[in-house]
Amino acid sequence: MDRIERWKLADELNVYQISLLIAGFDPSEFEEDTYERWPQETRIEISPYLNAIKNGARSQKFMFSEVKYQSQSYDDPETNWYNSLVNIGSFCDWLRSRNFVDGFFVSAKENDRLSDLSGEFYAPKLAAAVRAWNEVTASPEALNGKTPKKALEI
């Protein structure tokens, strides 16, 4: 098992760890520094993921255990994103609901239940139709100004 695969054992992770994993980084390499001290290229790479996850957590799209900064000077304490944890099971469900395949939390194979011959709801005709549609729409030559339906008929 490689170093990144070991992270699949976690039931909860923080938003930084999740963002790094989606982008293909090993979070272990970043644990000694705060986000602000990470290389700029890394921060740019994970920025869309980090923002989406923070917004999803704020709007309760998945299970999130929020920890606030303890400070006497703030009337409304801010979220401590390092210590707040995201439940990975509910987070993966959220990714699936958005048809987002990242390769770590949700794999393409896992997301393709339609073509799983041993699946509980496998329908051979539906799987064949979807496969044909995918093949035709992936080929610009096959479409050549035709609708997918017309290209399939030809």
Q: Does residue 150 or residue 70 have the better pLDDT? A: 150
Q: Output the pLDDT for position 111.
A: 47
The pLDDT of residue 76 is above 80? no
| 87-141 residue pLDDT tens | 999 999 999 888 888 889 988 665 466 666 767 777 888 878 877 777 777 777 7
Q: Output the pLDDT for position 70.
A: 74
| 38-62 residue pLDDT tens | 999 999 999 999 999 999 999 999 9
User: Domains of the chain: which residue ranges?
Assistant: 5-107, 114-153
* Secondary structure string (H, E, C) spanning the chain: CCCCHHHHHCCEECHHHHHHHHCCCCHHHHCCCCHHHCCHHHHHHHHHHHHHHHHHHHCCCCCEECCECCCCCCCCCCECCCCCEEEHHHHHHHHHHCCCCCCCCCCHHHHCHHHCCCCCCCCHHHHHHHHHHHHHHHCHHHHCCCCHHHHHHC
Query: What confidence tier does 73 reach under pLDDT thresholds 50, 70, 90?
Result: low
Q: Output the pLDDT for position 109.
A: 62
Residue 129 sits at the vertex; the CA angle it makes with 151 and 111, to the nearest 5 degrees, is: 120
The residue length of the chain stands at 154
Q: Does residue 72 or residue 23 have the better pLDDT? A: 23
| 1-41 residue pLDDT tens | 688 999 999 999 999 999 999 999 999 999 999 999 999 99
